[in-house]
Amino acid sequence: MVMVPANGISTTEMQHWLEPFHYQFMQRAFVTALLVGVLCSAMGTYVVLRKLAFIGDGIAHASFAGIVIAYLRGADYYVGAGIVAILTALGIGWVHRRGRVALDTAIGVLFTGAFALGIFLMSRQRSYSVDLQSFLFGDILSVNHQDVLMIVALALFVGFVTALLWRSLLYTSFDPIVAQAGGMNAQRTEYILLVLLALTIIVSLQAVGIVLVAALLVTPAAAAYQLTRRFSQMMGLSALLGAISGAGGLYLSYFLRSSSGATIVLLATILFFMASAARATVRRRSFREIRSQ
């Protein structure tokens, strides 16, 4: 006989829905999904405000060259990816500033060049055993204890630097010319932000992979932008939506038997459209109230 509590959910059903939390690999994956969701989405606020949606995809693809070089040298893949991602981010800033090239053009030139370098180096090998699919689409279920510690450390570092430079990052995001006139070094702030974004992307590679990392960086922040115009509220709401997307997408993927990274991004996309619909509803209601007066 199955005991059914007052709320109508039996013990067996409760155990079924809590099943993902019984496994250690899923527990590590949930911690990773929460950290990546919050970090990506919070940093994505700057990406959306500065209209840098292309940069996440660019740096993520550029990191492929670092993965290949690390493979050829027998080094850690994520260290190689991190070095190339940071160099690419700094290179984008340098080409944009010194070469008087539009930022999106600089991103396109650098990331395609780095990505092509990775393909070139890989094509020269007669045989290779590295599984590229985990880097392209993510493999959050394979996260081990050391990976979690690395992600926590990088997330804390990015969060600390962001908090330290909060004022500079805020003002240069809205009006870099006025910020420069006010004594802030807008150029240095831009370089630091690019490096922070590179580190954020590397943290996210194992969770959602090269192909999907840009979506997690942009979509929750874009959803938050639909609901508020205050920067601090936008960042907090973006982080909340990122956490829901990360943990919720991972939870759903367990029962749907689907790709974790893809499910996380799809949930974030659904939340974006829900936010857009909510904003449209509020605007229509406000318009009707104005007309009725």
Q: What is the pLDDT of residue 2?
A: 47
Rounded to whole angstroms, the Cα distance separating 293 from 291 reads 5
Rounded to whole angstroms, the Cα distance separating 18 from 26 reads 11
Six token digits for residue 25: 């690999």
Six token digits for residue 7: 């709320």
Q: What is the pLDDT of residue 1?
A: 45
Other C-beta atoms lying within 10 Å of the C-beta of residue 17: 11
- DSSP character at residue 244: H
Q: What is the pLDDT of residue 131?
A: 62
Six token digits for residue 257: 């038997």
- DSSP character at residue 183: T
Rounded to whole angstroms, the Cα distance separating 74 from 269 reads 37
Domains and CATH numbers, the chain: 21-292 (1.10.3470.10)
Q: What is the pLDDT of residue 160?
A: 94
Q: Please give the chain's pLDDT, 293 residues, in tens.
A: 445 555 556 788 788 788 888 889 999 999 999 999 999 999 999 999 888 888 888 898 898 899 889 888 888 888 898 999 999 999 998 898 887 788 888 888 998 999 899 889 888 877 655 566 677 778 888 888 888 888 899 889 999 999 999 989 988 888 777 777 777 888 889 899 999 999 999 888 878 888 788 889 999 999 999 999 889 999 999 999 999 999 999 999 999 999 898 999 999 999 999 999 999 888 887 777 676 66
Rounded to whole angstroms, the Cα distance separating 232 from 13 reads 40
- DSSP character at residue 23: S
Measuring CA to CA, how many Å separate 113 from each of 59, 64, 88, 108, 124?
11, 11, 10, 8, 17
- Segments in the chain forming alpha helices (H): 11-17, 24-49, 53-73, 77-98, 103-123, 133-137, 145-164, 166-174, 176-181, 186-227, 231-256, 260-292
Rounded to whole angstroms, the Cα distance separating 72 from 77 reads 10
CB 96 within 8 A of CB 148: no
CB 140 within 8 A of CB 33: yes
Six token digits for residue 177: 């010319």
CB 95 within 8 A of CB 101: yes
> What residues contact 74, with CB distance under 8 A and at least 6 apart?
none
Rounded to whole angstroms, the Cα distance separating 113 from 135 reads 18
